[in-house]
Amino acid sequence: MNVHGVNDVRQTEILTEEPLVPEPNAFEVDLAIEKLKSHKSPGTEQISAELIKARGRTICNETHTFIISIWNKKELPEEWKESIITPTYKKGNETL
């Protein structure tokens, strides 16, 4: 219940620059690629999950290098912030 210590803790948290989570290694990237769901619509870049999953060792290494680059910059590419939503009607009137 020490109110004075709260400000000191917050200040200490702000000033620390050490990473809380280590950067992903190549094995973790490979596992994430394996977990991609198949038969889903591709994003704006038109690359399907099946194509990514059918990768070779070179593609896996390049993907890891790309992810590490984004990790170190601490900022997502602008294209990743875009999305396209397309309604898919299974039954009923589409015009409602």
Counting residues of the chain whose pLDDT is more than 90, the rounded percentage is 11
How confident is the model over 2-36, as pLDDT tens digits? 555 555 555 555 555 665 788 899 999 889 888 98
In a domain, 81, yes or no: no
Q: Is residue 9 part of a domain?
A: no
Calculate mean pLDDT across residues 36-61: 84
Model pTM? 0.57
More confident residue, 86 or 10: 86
Of 20, 35, 43, 32, the C-alpha closest to 67 is 32
Positive or negative torsion for Cα 52, 58, 62, 67 = positive
Question: Are the beta carbons of 54 and 34 closer than 8 angstroms?
Answer: no
- Residue 41 covered by a domain: yes
Number of domains in the chain: 1
CA 23 to chain centre: 13
Higher-confidence position of 1 and 61:
61
Residue in the structure block whose two tokens are 């038109």: 46
pLDDT value at position 7?
52
**Looking at residue 90, what is its pLDDT?**
79
Nearest to 26 by CA among 56, 65, 54, 53: 65
The answer to the question of residue 91 being in a domain is no
